[in-house]
Amino acid sequence: MNNSFKEKLMYRIDNIMTKGSFSIIVAFSILVIFIIFLLTVLIWFLGSNPDQSFSDQLWIYFNTGFGRSATDGSWVYRIITFLLILISIFFSSIIIGSIASEINSKILELRQGKSKVIESNPTIILGWSESLYIIINELIEANRNQHSSCIVILGSKNNIEMQEDIVDKILPDNKTKIIFRSGSTSSPEDLSRLNIGNAKSIIININDDIEVVKTILAIFKDKKVQQREIPIACKINDSANLSVAEIAGQGVVKFLPVYNFLGRIDAQACLQPGVAEVLLDLLDFAGSEVYFHTEGSLIGQTYKDAVLSYDACCVVGIRKKNKILINPSPDALIEELDQLVIIALDDDEIKLTDYQSNDFSIKKTHSKINKISGIPKHLHILGWNNASPVILNDLIGYLPAKSKITYACRSSEMKKYFEEFG
């Protein structure tokens, strides 16, 4: 089917319009220049203004066509000048409108968090959940002793909405810059805008395990992430999904099975009042924290030497390549690439001190995990969730004989658990 000239013309105009403001300005500029040239040729051949050369008339018409005032001349000259003034008004309106539209689009893009991030070693948080505020506050606290730091957050909300939502829920801080961007965590294009290959570390803050796996796959599409071996951490809600997530993580991503971890803490806190306060002090950045520290001067020496080499902090273990040894034998050797597991108020406190090894001795004590001695205990547990089986298993392993656990809840999952495990 043959299309008419009008249809073809409108089709080409539509294509130009869809390419953006710059294409529109260029196209209309070329059109105006062409019209001015044709009208100048017409005036020249008609001889309406013989006192002026072709180049002079062309220059005058260019000035008129692009917004200058008309000059006197013959009536033909005046009519054509009037037409050029109308073209000038039309052309100027298009230019101003296109520029205004482009500025509005840029402002909207910035408000929506669609622009590229150019920061040096930022901590990137992917996803928006109820735990985000805790994560940000902990990072702010951790960076108190840093000259400057940056946190980049990618969420599904509008940029302005995210800023307003978080402003009253985080600690005041002038050293930590917080940048918000809007997009999908599983989109490689959105992740590339964060300059994710230049990140100091990446935290995946997503509640949906399937979306976690998608996000990990999108992250590893950036070759720079793999080359730099950027630390990546995320939580897994259902331990049944952990094996799939580990395959996607390629041995780089560190996973935290949330309910498994929380279940064990709940069980220990129930049996040992006060353990929750100890764990909270170690796991947050207020007070003492756990650090992995490399000390080249201790390579080839023993764990005993390492323990006695620090005054302001406490060495509690050795991190090998594939495992962590907590309170190993005093004679355990510290090898190349090993890291010390240290509890300290801050990383600035991790400083070597002099000592004489002959003046000290360390005895290794071996302990077994036994049931708590004493009278039987009766515990009441309210509710059932994914952490409940972990809590039950830990309690059963520690409680004295003839202890009793009462669960108050309505759950098919609880019924299923007792049918399977008795």
Tokens at residue 187, please? 């989109």
Residue 96 lies in a domain: yes
Judgement on whether residues 154 and 245 belong to the same structural domain of the protein: yes
Number of domains the chain is built from: 4
Residue 364 lies in a domain: no
* Torsion angles phi and psi, residue 375, rounded to 5: -75, 150
Residues in the chain: 422
Judgement on whether residues 130 and 230 belong to the same structural domain of the protein: yes
Contact indicator for 43, 57 with CB cutoff of 8 Å: yes
* Residue 62 scores a pLDDT above 80: no
Residue 13 one-letter amino acid: I
Judgement on whether residues 133 and 50 belong to the same structural domain of the protein: no
The Cα 387–Cα 395 span in angstroms is 12
Judgement on whether residues 272 and 129 belong to the same structural domain of the protein: no
* Residue 72 scores a pLDDT above 60: no
In 10 A of CB 162, how many CB atoms? 21
Mean pLDDT of 403-417: 72
Judgement on whether residues 208 and 331 belong to the same structural domain of the protein: no
Judgement on whether residues 336 and 352 belong to the same structural domain of the protein: yes
End residue of a domain, out of 356, 381, 398: 356
Please tell me the pTM assigned to this model: 0.62
The Cα 127–Cα 185 span in angstroms is 7
81-109 pLDDT tens trace: 667 777 777 777 777 777 777 777 766 76
Task: Tell me which residue has tokens 């260029």.
Answer: 26
* Residue 2 scores a pLDDT above 90: no
pLDDT of residue 149: 85
Percent of the chain with pLDDT over 90: 12
277-298 pLDDT tens trace: 777 777 777 777 888 898 888 9
Judgement on whether residues 147 and 246 belong to the same structural domain of the protein: yes
* Residue 68 scores a pLDDT above 50: no
Domain that holds residue 305: 288-356
End residue of a domain, out of 251, 274, 308: 251
298-344 pLDDT tens trace: 999 999 889 888 888 899 999 988 788 988 988 899 998 899 999 88
Judgement on whether residues 223 and 342 belong to the same structural domain of the protein: no
The Cα 373–Cα 356 span in angstroms is 41
The Cα 392–Cα 394 span in angstroms is 5
* Residue 216 scores a pLDDT above 90: yes
pLDDT of residue 76: 65
Q: Please give the residue that has the higher pLDDT: either 146 or 72.
A: 146
Q: What is the 3-state secondary structure (H, E, C) of 206-260?
A: CCCHHHHHHHHHHHCCCHHHHHHCCCEEEEECCHHHHHHHHHHHCCCEEEEEHHH
The enclosing domain of 201 has a CATH number of 3.40.50.720
pLDDT of residue 340: 93
Residue 6 lies in a domain: no
Residue 389 lies in a domain: yes
* Torsion angles phi and psi, residue 60, rounded to 5: -65, -45
Put residue 79 in one of left, alpha, beta given phi > 0 → left and psi -120 to 50 → alpha.
alpha
Residue 5 lies in a domain: no
Residue 365 lies in a domain: no
Q: Please give the residue that has the higher pLDDT: either 46 or 301.
A: 301
The enclosing domain of 337 has a CATH number of 3.30.70.1450
The enclosing domain of 82 has a CATH number of 1.10.287
The Cα 170–Cα 90 span in angstroms is 52
In 10 A of CB 151, how many CB atoms? 22
128-161 pLDDT tens trace: 888 888 888 888 887 777 777 889 999 888 777 8
